[in-house]
Structure 1
Amino acid sequence: MASIAIVVAIYNGEATLDQCLASIETQSIPPSQLIVMDGGSKDGTVEILSRRSGMFSYWESRPDGGIYDAWNKALSHLTADWVWFIGCDDCLADAEVLSRMAALLDKTEAAVGLVYGKVAMVARSGRVSDVIGRPWADVRRRMQYSMVIPHTGLLARRALFERVGEFDAQYRIAGDYDWFMRAAAESGVRFTDDLLVNAGDEGLSGASETQVRTVREFGLICERQGRRRSLGWRWLLLKCQVKARLRAPLGAGGQGLVVDLFRSLTLRRPRGAGR
């Protein structure tokens, strides 16, 4: 059966780390490897890692250059067939996720090196505010200018890193998008209609502070990979700029109501519906 390594990158993740690790520990089959890269946390993260150290194939706690640098450092410790990068505020959706994915990957043709599923965004209330992840045929065009595949629900063949290289750590936000597009040019992509992860949803206020910078980084990556900044990218940037500007006069709550109204008018589920 296909072997799966899980990589968790952390910095000051004390509040959510135990829950994340518990969701891995309770899987009906364990991951082949569990690698944890902590960026030198100053809270209680290291104490949690020390207490749970028996779970890990490898872990370290030292300063790094950000999440993509941490992921790159983890690559040298990988031996499994597939690798899955998740965050410390993410939890595997149920106890059979690894079992189902191992069986699916075992049957996946060699030409496919990227497999992803659905991710539920879970609000602080514990309710699901959104579910992201759609079939590759539906999102392939949008991927030309933005990351619409949930990276925390993506598994990649380890061999792909040998072919396309590691993550580009110069990017602060969209390095996963840069790597995915390089990898997708060399590999087939497969979608599974399976909920894989419950991810922490920081909400609209947190997202609005970084969305504009994220989209600008998408544009930079497009240009460096030989694609123009399309009309789709410009429309996405405009929407993010409007949301960011709404937050100042309306506050996070008012901003959320406007965004939810827009989503309803465009026949999409309001993000705030699960809060």
Structure 2
Amino acid sequence: MLNKINIILTLICLFWNAQRAFPLVEIESTTLDSTLKINDTKASADSIIRVEYFVDSVNIGQKHKNKIEITNYQVKDSNYVVINFYSLLENRLWRLKQTFNFEKDGLTSCDPLISDFNNDNFNDFTYISAIAARMSNEVRRLFIYDNSKDELILIKNSEDYPNMLYNKQLDCIDAFLIHGGTSTIFLKIIGDSLNEFASVHNSDYRVIYKTDKAGNRTLIRKKKINDEGIWVRYKNYDPLEAYKEKN
């Protein structure tokens, strides 16, 4: 199975990376002309379907100087995502700098989101990679734009923290996990990872922790709550403050 995935992703990447620079005119829809051989059976280019295509060259990274493309391919009964990131050269051509590829569920769209997740005035990128917990936990991969290198940093554990938001009040990311109860997790971006520094857990009790750099939790408060208090998402943990419900 792993070899099959590697072959498919290699084929897709070879197709997209055939050229290293592209004019400002957007790339037209094209057809793969290669033949894929998997387990002694051939999958023709006709079996590789482009399900979604998204491009932005206005908002990502340095505005008007970077471009991102995300393409969702269906290959037989599997889906794969290819992400290309570009920089604008002085001759007004796009230079391909990075390519990422991943498996994806076939149930959801990518729903790309471009927004500043670390308050550095450069826009970052996420897309939906999966859905969990009866469609309640929206799982996204997060890419942070690094201005010093003009590259995207893949946040390796971003899929562990569903329903991510940038938290302006605490200048962090918070995630909202739905399970038997709910958990609001407060996170800082350190290198290529999200690091927890506090959390609020609602079930029979509301339990609030601080978390040190080694990952050790210290209990702040524990209080019995009713069922209505379980489904609350918080934007601060000390003092405790909930997000306002959207009308």
Q: Sort the TM-score into its range (normalised by shorter chain).
A: under 0.3
TM-score, length basis structure 1: 0.26
TM-score, length basis structure 2: 0.28
Quick check: which one's strand share is greater? Answer: 2
